[in-house]
Amino acid sequence: MNHDIVEEDLLRPTPVTRDAGRDLITTSPVAKPPAARRGARSVGPVRVAIIHDWLVTYAGAERVLEQIVACFPDADLFSLVDFLDDRTFLRGKSVTTSFIQKLPKARTKYRSYLPLMPLAIEQLDVSAYDVVISSSHAVAKGVLTGPDQVHISYVHSPIRYAWDLQHQYLQQSKLTSGPKSALARMILHYMRNWDIRTSNSVDAFVANSEFIARRIHKVYQRDSEVIFPPVDVESFSLCEEKDDFYLTASRMVPYKKIDLIVEAFARMPERKLVVIGDGPDMQKVRAKATPNVQIMGYQPFNVLRDHMRRAKAFVFAAEEDFGISVVEAQACGTPVIAYGKGGALETVRDQYESHPTGIFFNEQTADSIIGAVEDFADDPARFRPADCRANAERFSVRHFRERFFGFVRETVPALQGATLPVDEPPAKVGDQKPVSNALRVLAIDQSGVMGGAELSLLEVVKALRARVQVLLFDDGPFRMALHREGVAVDVLDPGATRDMRKQGGTPPIARAVKSVASLVRATVVRARQSDVIYANTQRAMVIGAIAGRFARRPVVWHLRDIVSPEHFGSRQLAIIKWCAKLGLAHVIANSAASARAFAELTNFGDRRIDVVFNGISAAPFSALRETPQSVLRARLKLPQDAFLVGSFSRLAQWKGQHVLLEAMVLNPQMHAVLVGAALFGEDAYEARLREFVAANGLDGRVHFLGFQDDVAACMCAVDVVAHTSITPEPFGRVIVEGMLARRPVVAARAGGVVEIIDDGVNGVMCSPGDAHALADTLAELRADRALRDRLVANGYQTAVRKFGTQAYVEGVERILANVASGG
């Protein structure tokens, strides 16, 4: 059975929120157990056990558990399974687990053991404790307790896939008919009967919202106290100034309806939407995105928080039990546009209430979302950031602890007079490195030259350092750069594979096979000392995929190309398809364009492709802020008074340097600076460029600087950075570097470029290969200093916020750790 739908909202990397226009202290009457039946202890400490369904991540339910542990720091913990890498939120406590912990593939397939979970939870022995607190969204409330024990259950939801979401679960699991469907229905029927029976052993229920309280009453016929989940509002600061974009952030699973939000904004091209999150629906969401919709994928907490603070409004389309991200948005002073059902009704003050914090829409349709966004845009000043913040503060961690501890104290006679412990909070999980220190990585790259792929790999291995070994198939400056960073490096002789080319050029088959076999053997030896193989380039991926099979290690390919006939020959494309089936566990794409092309070529599952934008350090560019441009030009022997347009990439036909030279013919007032060399058998193209310069009298206005170590100095020496690729660029690193150098950027409108540049805002785009359009754009930039200044200011902000090294490195590390652990 496929149980991917099970409690997806509680297992996501990015939490969600909601807000209320009502009294947050509203409670339902709860029958309190008589003191006599409890066998209240007159002496000795009260022994407390805390039960949680499963411990595999740090998400919504775990945030509640963290605060329950803070209320009862001496309690012992129990769970079906415990596969946490970072357990700081549990204060390092050990956890007693069930027999499921030791079953095959339990780390990644624990939800497949659903039929065994009732039995497993009943085998956890908590008979030695006076108070049992279960944190339950599945089976934790079914733990067995005796007549003299008090059992309090904090319910995130009754088992949703067994109750009101059964039919949706069966549909999405493709279990609507046939023998497997019949078996699944029987299991869910058994789960419902078990769920009702075990509810009778709970002395007091606590619901995380009025919405869940109604669910508890409907399913169990029991009343419950409502205590809203804790939201760390202190980690979010009020921002009064908002940027011109809307935000949604969530795990991309069907019931979150992220695709509906994207569809709605696709029909509002004048309004910009930013989407943060990843998950099974990522490809579906990407397919509906238009140029005004920016899909960022998974982002670390600091990036999410920054966007929440600056967003004009937060859009939320799920019917959520509570919805932490809605509250977090309001903590930033950001109003909410939300679906008017579920927990959002309790956490968002509607526009018709005093001090409103958001707007509701009535249907989960694109039309309904569009209507709400238009309504919001008519008068956004109605929603004051200070009101949003004040409303969010009612869901604080402090408020949760006081309410929950007070409820337990009132329910347990032996705790009368007890006081809430003064808490010393541990470091937040979100602030920790997402990778276990035990992770060992073998990174492989085919080149010794410092290209864009190598610079990006360098940032990752600098972070891993002691836990990574790098294997190169050629020697060169890249090896020296790795040595300077203290990274272990081995260089292998590539043999005949050195002559392999993207467009299909290959050496004789016998020589090629012999060289590949030699590289595979050497890679297998090193891979056996690692947990995961991280291939940074296409040739390295081929070797890695084969070696991974022999070494029995998962392989992650960092895809930095658009795998299409424009970039690769038919033989190379066939090899990539073969490797995808043979041994690739996961692919990291440097842009949505790269991810789409790979998925179309290989039919690789969406869940095994993640988009992580390249991270580029601002430090080399910041170091030159105070250096006069005249000094840099003198160092590079460039003319002092000319308007210089720089091109920064290896000299190759598809990189389109000839388009820039053609534009120079049309713009006699400008000079072109070509930084880069012909690296991979492309000397003939460089010769043609030089011939064109001579034939058109451009000798004094075109400057060939060749390969340069200090790209930052070269960029800061020019007036404009031009990107002229004539076929779609997988990412466009030079564009971000130009932004960091505080230079206006002109780029070819194709591939990953459109995910970086907002045309006319942080850069300018032209049609690929159109020298006349490029010449006109460069002339406009030369004449309009205000335009250049505006593009520079916006471009720098884009580069720092969206393409910083921290988000990039954390994204790659997270994926490597997940793959290495079998996730």
The chain-wide mean pLDDT, for the chain, equals 86
Torsional sign, CA 15, 18, 19, 24: negative
Q: Looking at the chain, which residues constitute the CATH 3.40.50.2000 domain(s)?
A: 233-395, 441-614+807-820, 619-803
Give the integer Cα–Cα distance in Å for 721 and 709.
17
Q: How far is CA 354 from CA 228, 350, 358, in A?
A: 22, 8, 11
* Token representation of residue 276: 């943060």
With beta carbons less than 8 A apart as the criterion, state whether 696 and 666 touch. Answer: no
Q: Does residue 786 have a pLDDT over 80?
A: yes
For the stretch 613-667, pLDDT in tens is 888 888 889 889 889 999 999 999 999 999 999 999 989 998 999 999 999 999 9
End-to-end CA distance of the chain: 17
Interstrand relation of 643-648 and 720-722 (parallel, antiparallel or unpaired): parallel
* CATH of segment(s) 619-803: 3.40.50.2000
CB under 8 Å to 31, separation ≥6 — which residues?
Answer: 204, 223
Domain 233-395, CATH class in plain words: alpha beta
- Over residues 163-213, the pLDDT tens digits come to 665 666 666 667 778 888 888 788 888 888 999 999 999 999 999 988 899
CATH code of the domain occupying 441-614+807-820: 3.40.50.2000
The residues, any chain, with a CB within 8 Å of residue 125's CB and separated by 6 or more, are: none
Q: What number of other Cβ atoms are within 10 A of residue 483's Cβ?
A: 12
**744-780: per-residue pLDDT in tens?**
999 999 888 998 999 999 999 999 999 999 999 999 9
pLDDT per position as a tens digit, 293-303: 999 887 878 88
How does residue 494 score in pLDDT terms, banded at 50, 70 and 90? confident
Is the pLDDT confidence value at 131 over 70? yes
Handedness of CA 601, 603, 604, 605 (dihedral sign): positive
For 705, the token pair is 């600087």
Residue type for position 608: R
Sheet holding 702-706, edge to edge: 702-706, 670-675, 643-648, 720-722, 745-748, 764-766
HSE-up (13 A, CA, CB side) for residue 521: 8
HEC string of 653-695 equals HHHCHHHHHHHHHHCCCEEEEEECCCCCCCHHHHHHHHHHHHH
Question: 44-230+400-415 is classed in which CATH architecture?
Answer: 3-Layer(aba) Sandwich (3.40)
Q: What is the pTM of this model?
A: 0.50
DSSP state of 642: S
Question: Which two structure tokens, joined as six digits, stand for 761?
Answer: 């805002």
